[in-house]
Chain A
Amino acid sequence: MALENLEFEEPIAVLLKEIEALTLQPRTDARDREIEVLRRRVESVRAELYRSLTPWQRVLVARHPSRPDLEDFIHRLFTNFVEIHGDRRYADDHAIMTGFADYKDRPVLLVGHVKGRDTKEKIYRNFGYARPEGYRKALRAMRLAEKFSRPIIVFVDTPAAYPGIESEERGVAEAIAVNLRDMMMLDTPIVVIVSGEGGSGGALGIAIGDRVLMQEFAIYSVIPPEGCAAILWRDATKKIEAAAALKLTAPDLLHAGIIDEIIGEPIGGAHTDPAAAAKQVDDVLTRMLSDVSALDGETRLALRYDKFRNMGRLGTDFRDEGS
């Protein structure tokens, strides 16, 4: 399958074209060797590029149209998935998917954003922009998990909550706020994986958990770089500077104490080898889930509270100058 190349992957695209041109010619041993050399070159160029991605380049990888999404992970890591729909209030939001499944023979609840792959699907999923109903559906499903003591696994991948008239009319802010408060008290293990774009409140609205993990090239930000550039620089083309200033990469978030661990990705990003990427998610998820499941409910809730309570550290992020 030919993958879409990102703008900074131009050197790779050039090599791939050369390889393609060679494969169209009659096969000879010499030509096969040449192709082999070029393939290795692709690998090394890719490794070189991905070793030192800029924040903006990571934004592009996190938004890659072929990046493994919730449906990919369900397909690769879970069995017996049954989707449950609707918030029992107004509608079924397609940008957030919920359902139960088995993970290593153990029932779990899955919650996550879905952006959609092709145009038709993207429109159906509203490009991953959830409306209030999505957040309310997520909470309803999570209460179900709590009631029957099933762990919750969340995959976060959204540009933002949907900024539209109906979203405001039906109280998207209230829906997110209620989730933040109530997820803090849900008496069941919650593991959150930011797998693509962690788009501000739209992401956080389902991202309260005992563990918050991030895939290596995912991003998590208070505002998209484009929006930040438009507001602070008054120039949307300053998105590259904004992406760097916002410190939205996985290593930045680990450093800030916001996430617990980075899940590695194959060189070239999860989309170049979804199976390997899923395996890496699987390993960390299994470990984290067993860690938090081992705790008794009261301890787990106290630790969850402290985890978020300690974001913004005295002496590091703020100081006390007295009165």
Chain B
Amino acid sequence: MAWFKKARKPIAAAPKEKPSRVPEGLWVKCPGCAQIIYNKDLATNLNVCPKCAHHFRVSAFDRLRMLFDGDWVEYDKGLVSTDPLTFTDTKPYKARLKSSIEATGLKDAVIVASGAIDGIDTIVASMEYGFIGGSMGVVVGEKIARAIERAVDTHRPVVIVCSSGGARMMEGALSLMQMAKICGALARLDRARVPYIAVLTDPTTGGVTASFAMLGDLNIAEPKALIGFAGPRVIEQTIRQKLPEGFQRSEFLLDKGMIDLVVDRREMKGVIANAMRFMGATRVQPLPAAIAMPEVELPAEPAPQS
């Protein structure tokens, strides 16, 4: 016989936290300050929390919208991986590719485009973290290498917005070699004295950091972005201790002398344009629509083989 008897009904366990009933995407809770932000306010503020300046991740497409004055021309949109290793882990790589393509509307983890940044005709490569963690395989490597070669040929500055977990494991050593391929192209860009600005956003790690992310004439980071070579977990396993707060964040790298400046997203475009002008890029006056066709040069370039 029990000594104590539950006289009252047990208190019902708290129902599993229901997903907020607030209409999807109307309000966002800031992970930085826990404030509830109206989605439109966030969007008009370039996805930076108006209260605490927490930088939300943004898509490759939105990034282009934030940088370019107006429209842009996209390059090599149709490049897609063939799954060269026929890689399968718990899921076939082909299936991962397919779901990423569906989720992002992109064929791989980078958009390359040219357009005007504060009047300066610029080639921008913008990485999409939502596509298999922004990882770099042959397509990312090829698109960025082509972008840099275009910049060498046409003397247009290059901006690469990094957002990547590193090389893409599912394409094996081929992914690794993209680091060498892009750095080779950057060597030519460097010799040609064409400006290159690397923008490091959260997160930039692994093979991307150990190649083009660190080779800008200017390496600019967004606040509090995770930037490093080895991931924090790998380091913790190696040294068997917890890493200090803020380790591998932008401000840490700035303090260690590894990046040139940390810039708030809302000022990023202005800083980039300024830097490009320092590096000799000149503003092409926005021309009337009828002749505003910098792409007339394009057919002169080696046409992509198909």
Binding site for B on A (CB under 8 A): 161-165, 167-174, 176-178, 180-182, 184-185, 198, 200-201, 204-205, 208, 220-223, 227-228, 231-234, 241-242, 245-248, 252-253, 256, 258, 304-305, 308-309, 311-312, 314-323
Contact = CB atoms under 8 A, between A and B. Distances in A.
Given A247-B173, A318-B84, 8 more contacts: A181-B183, A181-B190, A198-B173, A221-B173, A258-B177, A309-B145, A312-B138, A312-B178
B223 interface: no
A317 B172 contact: no
Nearest to A185: B187
A232 B235 CA distance: 18
Nearest to A176: B210
23 contacts: A163-B229, A163-B235, A164-B238, A168-B247, A172-B210, A174-B214, A177-B212, A181-B190, A181-B215, A204-B179, A222-B175, A228-B89, A234-B90, A242-B89, A246-B173, A305-B188, A309-B184, A309-B185, A312-B141, A312-B142, A312-B174, A314-B142, A317-B138
Contact of B187 (A161, A184, A318): A184
Given A181-B183, A320-B78, A222 B169 contact: yes
A161 B81 CA distance: 28
A256 B180 contact: no
B228 interface: yes
Contacts, number: 211
A238 to B, nearest CB: 8
B169 A311 contact: no
A228 B82 contact: no
Interface in B131-185: 137-139, 141-142, 145, 167-181, 183-185
Interface residues of B, number: 69
A177 B90 contact: no
A182 B173 contact: no
Contact of A318 (B74, B87, B138, B211): B138
A318 B173 contact: no
Interface in B200-240: 206-207, 209-215, 228-230, 234-235, 238-239
Contacts of B43: none
Given A231-B169, A253-B173, A317 B89 contact: no
